[in-house]
A = this chain, B = another copy of it.
């Protein structure tokens, strides 16, 4: 039990640990199912210290949601900036619509793990919405002309939500596959080599 005074940098680090622990727990169990006590314990601290970092649990919720989604949005933006459009699109879409993303709830996209819960908290929405715009912009850079980025993002988010309520892996994978096809081919509006079985259109 080491209990030493920390410098300002160390306090910021502790705060970051709290945010990360909360992020995982909220996504795994839902915001209301996770108490301040459990968060602080997961961060290796005791509950009383929480209010030295945040004015309330709600303030933490807003920060956790915004920070986590902002990081994902920044990753997308970077991928979109870097390479060829269709390769970037496939990289983003395939990692998002991967069964691994569906399974790893505790580090899954906040839109799919906490979307409706965050929507009920007005103070958390601006931070989320800002990242939604960034994500749509990133997709816009990758998508072929005429495809709508907001629609593509909707498809991706909805597919992961649906895959998580599916009661069999087969259904989940069918949903992810269908969404993949709709967003980045072989269906219309998309570059990339045509799928051998993709003669549907």
Complex partner residue of A201 from B32, B146, B157, B182, CB under 8 angstroms:
B146
**A141-199 with Cβ < 8 A to chain B:** 145-146, 148-159, 161-162, 164-168, 171, 174-175, 178-179, 181-182, 187-189
A182 touches B111 (CB 8 A): no
Q: Is A45 close to B, CB under 8 A?
A: no
Assess whether A125 is interfacial by the CB under 8 Å rule. Answer: yes
The residue from B117, B125, B148, B174 contacting A182, defined by CB atoms under 8 A apart:
B148
* A111: B residues at CB distance < 8 A: 161-162, 165
A164–B129 CB distance below 8 A: no
What residues of chain B lie closer than 8 Å to A129, measured between beta carbons?
165-168, 171
Shortest distance between the CB of A116 and any CB in chain B (Å): 5
CA separation between A119 and B200, bound complex, in Å?
32
A-B contact pairs, 27 of them (CB 8 A): A32-B32, A105-B119, A112-B116, A115-B162, A115-B164, A115-B165, A116-B161, A116-B164, A119-B164, A128-B167, A129-B165, A129-B166, A129-B167, A132-B165, A148-B181, A150-B159, A150-B178, A151-B155, A151-B179, A153-B162, A154-B154, A154-B158, A154-B159, A156-B158, A158-B159, A187-B188, A188-B189
Chain A residues close to B by CB (< 8 Å): 28-33, 105, 111-120, 125-126, 128-130, 132-133, 145-146, 148-159, 161-162, 164-168, 171, 174-175, 178-179, 181-182, 187-189, 200-201
